[in-house]
Amino acid sequence: MITQEIKITNRLGLHARPAAMVAQTAANFDCDIKIAKDRVEINAKSIMGVMMLAAEYGSTLRLSFNGKDEKEACSAITRLFTDNFNEEY
Amino acid sequence: MFVIKGVSASPGVAIGPAVLLPTADFAVTNQHVEAAEVKAEIAKFNRALEKTLADLDESEKKLRQTLGGEYASLMSMHKMILQDPMLKDAAISKIKNERMSAQAAIFHTLQELAASFDKIEDKFFKERRNDIFDVGKRMVGNLQGDKGQFWDSIRRPSVLIARDLFPSDTMNLQENQIIGFCTDLGGKTSHTAILAQSLKLPAVVGLSNAARQVKDGDTVIVDGENGLLIISPDKYTLARYKKTQREIKKAESLLQTINHLPTVTADGRSFKLMVNFDPRTDTKENKKLITDGLGLLRTEFLYMNIPQPPTELEQYQIYLATAKKFDMRPVTIRLADLGADKLPDFPLDEFDKDNNPFMGCRGIRLFLKNPELMHIQLRAIVRTACEVPAQIKVMIPMVSSVEEVRHVRAALNEVLAEFEKQGKKPVNRIALGAMIEVPAAAIALDGMIGEMDFLSIGTNDLIQYLIAVDRVNPDVAHMYDPCHPAVVRTIRQIIQTAHQRGRQVSICGEIASDVRMVPMLLGLEVDTLSVPPRMFLRIKNRIRNLNFEACSDTAQAALLASSSEEIRKLIETQSQDEDS
């Protein structure tokens, strides 16, 4: 299992489009992917779950990956965040 | 007979039996299954899921062709929700462990999900709750086939009465025998209204509780001209509306013949007639209209239903496609009038503080506080102007002082300088003007007009601010009155001031497409009227049948009038004179 802390750096936070990107990317991997914020933990493969986090700019998320393709999944999901979901802001 | 007043969403008259759309709540018919049936129930759930996905695929395709990308992308969002493990796994576990029926499982899962969404403070997320329920409705419909049965049960041309219409209902309007519709919710610019116009169905929205007052099979009249729903009309009313219906039909076919003719009055005074263009509802018929240009491109829609402001590229693509449709004619782009009733989904601090949003931070006020938003929009506009021969005009909304115009002028010059550094220049000089809708700007216009190349009167808000009436408040909405003497005098003053300084004035509010008000506006010597495409030929026809001298007399008399009543009588008298 890999765990990773990540900070939201895109100005508008984890809104619908980034949430959709996270869920779509996560669905490409077999491993379990969970995202936690404060006391809420959700399945990253669920668009509704990711949206429910309502993660705003500056908040910190805990990502965990568990399964045989966990390494690849971790780098793919982390990249979305570090690229600010390709947003200009 | 019973008449309910609503808001006209799409013109025309429809007469027929009412059908009531089953309410948005779920009718879950059976709650539990026996242990032995669990497996079959799960299979049933999965089949309904597949079927719903296929339906959504189909709708997405159709919507892309008919109503364009905005509605279609809503469908792909719905597909993702449908495939979401939170919905699927939770529902299946309810069937398995609690022996719920598939319908009940979906219903309870959706309720739980909606409850979690309700807890979120953010408006954008909250609104997604409706999307979730829309998906659920479709799926339950596929499980019990009742919604399908509802649409199939309509065997004769009928008027649909609904609390509200969901995007999933819209396809059925086209495919079944719906000749018009009424909804309790929605306003003139709601997606329901836009839809009605593009389907050319007479529609009245905002009826508040019509759905409870109409029974299935009642004869109803949808008067999309005046925003009325008439339930069980008497013989006389029915005959009158049938006549109106025939007249509208005749007029429609007659109108096509005047498209290529100039917009001049019977006694030879010419006016410019433009359209308020909306790229979302650009139908085949609209494309055929021969107009004097684009009088108002509202850009707020670009900022709606997305979690972040539109990028320069996104905006540019839409402006470019739009400007190309008008080749060498003027294209007036209004800077986004965000705020008040047009709140985008992305967060801006200013919105939280507004207790009195129509007086608050909207239009240019909001842009000056968020210069980056304005800079991006101006860049997209200038980029367009560098590539098209159309004369691009930039209109500033909600101007109340000359400083605001100067600020925008400076920002525009800055953007022009940026483009010049890259060797790019607009094909035509970009004109900068203001929407006159704040009384202060109308009164002190002489001091501001030197900074403007053109101006346009935004009558909807001007009337609201002049009479201090909130159109949304049902207790005072009736006081909103385009015939108020203050309105006529203010319009006169604006036009006079502008003409003294050689500026042209256009009017682009609802008043410009009101056939009864047109003679007055012409008499006040407005230069241009800008109207929605669906009203274009009607207004052109109206102008061609008017006598400018008579309009002038009406306007002069109206300027001396002391009450709305007097002004209304003047307008009616002129109409009667011309009809006889």
**Domains plus CATH for chain A?**
2-86 (3.30.1340.10)
Residues B289 and B418 in one domain: yes
B485-500 and B548-560 helices cross at what angle (nearest 10)? 120
Residue with tokens 């007479």: B202
Task: Calculate ∠ Cα B6-B125-B162, nearest 5°.
Answer: 25
Residues B277 and B260 in one domain: no
The bridge status of strand B431-436 relative to strand B392-396 is: parallel
**0.90 surpassed by complex ipTM:** no
Residues B261 and B278 in one domain: no
Which residues, at least 6 apart from B253, have a Cβ–Cβ distance to it below 8 Å?
none
- Is the Cβ of B358 closer than 8 Å to some Cβ of chain A? no
From B80, B117, B309, residue closest to A52, measured CB to CB: B117
Residues B527 and B395 in one domain: no
pLDDT by residue, tens only, chain B of 580 residues: 889 888 888 889 999 999 888 764 555 556 778 888 888 888 888 888 888 888 788 777 776 766 666 566 667 777 888 888 888 888 899 898 888 888 888 888 888 887 777 776 666 566 666 677 777 777 776 766 555 567 777 888 999 998 877 656 666 776 778 999 998 877 665 667 767 777 788 999 888 887 788 888 899 999 998 889 999 999 999 999 999 999 888 878 888 889 999 999 999 999 999 999 988 767 677 788 999 999 999 999 898 877 789 999 999 999 999 999 998 999 999 999 998 777 777 777 777 666 777 888 899 999 999 999 999 999 999 999 999 999 999 999 999 999 999 999 999 999 999 999 999 999 999 999 999 999 999 999 999 999 999 999 999 899 999 999 887 677 787 888 999 999 999 999 999 999 999 999 999 988 998 888 999 999 999 999 999 888 899 899 999 999 999 999 999 999 999 999 999 999 988 877 765 5
User: Is there a contact between B308 and A46 if contact means CB atoms under 8 Å apart?
Assistant: no
Distance of CA B181 to the CA centre of its chain: 16
Residue B7 contacts residue B194 (beta carbons within 8 Å): no
Residues B278 and B392 in one domain: yes
Residues B432 and B392 in one domain: yes
Q: Where a domain ends, among B436, B462, B488?
A: B436
Residue B114 contacts residue B126 (beta carbons within 8 Å): no
d(CA B386, CA B299): 19
Residues B60 and B105 in one domain: yes
Task: Calculate ∠ Cα B130-B211-B101, nearest 5°.
Answer: 50
* Dihedral sign computed on CA atoms, order B426, B391, B438, B525: positive
Beta-carbon count within 10 A of B416 CB: 19
Residue B245 maps to a domain: no
| Residue B31, token pair as written in the block | 């709650």
Residue B161 contacts residue B211 (beta carbons within 8 Å): yes
H/E run at residue A6: strand A2-7
* Cβ pairs bridging A and B (under 8 Å): 58
Residues B473 and B568 in one domain: yes
d(CA B204, CA B159): 11
Residue B166 maps to a domain: yes
For residue B311, count CB atoms less than 10 angstroms from its CB and return exposed for 0-12, middle for 13-18, buried for 19 or more.
middle
The Cα-based distances of B89 to B40, B42, B95, B106 in angstroms read 16, 11, 10, 10
The Cα-based distances of B479 to B101, B341, B474 in angstroms read 53, 19, 10
- Is the Cβ of A88 closer than 8 Å to some Cβ of chain B? yes
Residue A13 contacts residue A60 (beta carbons within 8 Å): no
Residue B244 maps to a domain: no
* DSSP E strand stretches across B224-353: 228-231, 272-277, 294-297, 331-334
Give the range of the structural domain holding residue B391, as residue numbers without chain letter.
272-436
Beta-bridge partner residues of B505: B455
pLDDT recorded at residue B542? 93
* CA neighbor of B218 nearest in space, from B2, B25, B8: B2
Residue B167 contacts residue B74 (beta carbons within 8 Å): yes
Residue B243 maps to a domain: no
User: Is there a contact between B85 and A46 if contact means CB atoms under 8 Å apart?
Assistant: yes
d(CA A77, CA B540): 58
User: Is there a contact between A49 and B128 if contact means CB atoms under 8 Å apart?
Assistant: no
User: Is there a contact between A16 and B124 if contact means CB atoms under 8 Å apart?
Assistant: yes
Number of structural domains found in chain B: 3
Residue B117's φ and ψ, nearest 5 degrees, are -70, -35
- Is the Cβ of A16 closer than 8 Å to some Cβ of chain B? yes
Residue B68 maps to a domain: yes
d(CA B187, CA B102): 36
Terminal Cα-to-Cα distance of chain B (whole angstroms): 32
Residue B101 maps to a domain: yes
Residues B210 and B103 in one domain: yes
Closest residue, chain B, to A20 (C-alpha): B80
- Is the Cβ of B450 closer than 8 Å to some Cβ of chain A? no
Residue B247 maps to a domain: no
DSSP codes joined into one string, B173-191: HHHTTEEEEEESS--TTSH
Residue B362 contacts residue B297 (beta carbons within 8 Å): no
Residue B458 maps to a domain: yes
* CATH assignment at residue B131: 1.10.274.10
Residues B276 and B348 in one domain: yes
Label residues B341-379 b or e (16+ Cβ within 10 Å = b): ebbbbbbbebbeebeebbeebbbbbbbbebeebbbbbbb
- Is the Cβ of A74 closer than 8 Å to some Cβ of chain B? no
DSSP codes joined into one string, B448-471: HGGG-SEEEE-HHHHHHHHHT--T
B260 catalytic residue (yes or no): no
* CATH assignment at residue B373: 3.20.20.60
Task: Calculate what percentage of chain A has a pLDDT beyond 70.
Answer: 97
**Which residues 311-340 in chain B show a CB within 8 A of chain A?**
311
B123-144 and B69-82 helices cross at what angle (nearest 10)? 70
A89: chain B residues, CB-CB within 8 Å? 308-309
Residues B172 and B259 in one domain: no
A45: chain B residues, CB-CB within 8 Å? 85
Q: What is the pTM assigned to this prediction?
A: 0.64
| pLDDT exceeds cutoff 50 at A89 | no
From B113, B128, B346, residue closest to A12, measured CB to CB: B346
pLDDT recorded at residue B547? 94
Strands of the sheet with A2-7, listed across from one edge: A2-7, A60-66, A32-37, A40-43
- Is the Cβ of B84 closer than 8 Å to some Cβ of chain A? yes
Long-range contacts made by residues A86-89, C-beta under 8 angstroms, separation at least 24? A87/A10, A87/A11, A87/A12, A87/A18, A87/B308, A88/B311, A89/A10, A89/A11, A89/A12, A89/B308, A89/B309
d(CA A6, CA B456): 50
Q: Where a domain ends, among B376, B411, B436?
A: B436
Options B182, B361, B508, B551, the catalytic residue:
B508
How near does any CA of chain A get to the CA of B81, in Å? Answer: 7
Q: Where a domain ends, among B382, B416, B436?
A: B436
pLDDT recorded at residue B517? 93
Strands of the sheet with B203-205, listed across from one edge: B2-5, B228-231, B219-223, B13-20, B158-162, B178-183, B203-205, B7-10
Residue with tokens 């489009």: A17
d(CA B165, CA B180): 13
Residues B168 and B289 in one domain: no
Which residues, at least 6 apart from B456, have a Cβ–Cβ distance to it below 8 Å?
B295, B296, B332, B395, B433, B434, B435, B436, B505, B506, B507, B508, B530
* CA neighbor of B52 nearest in space, from B153, B148, B177, B125: B148
Mean pLDDT, chain A, whole residue set? 87
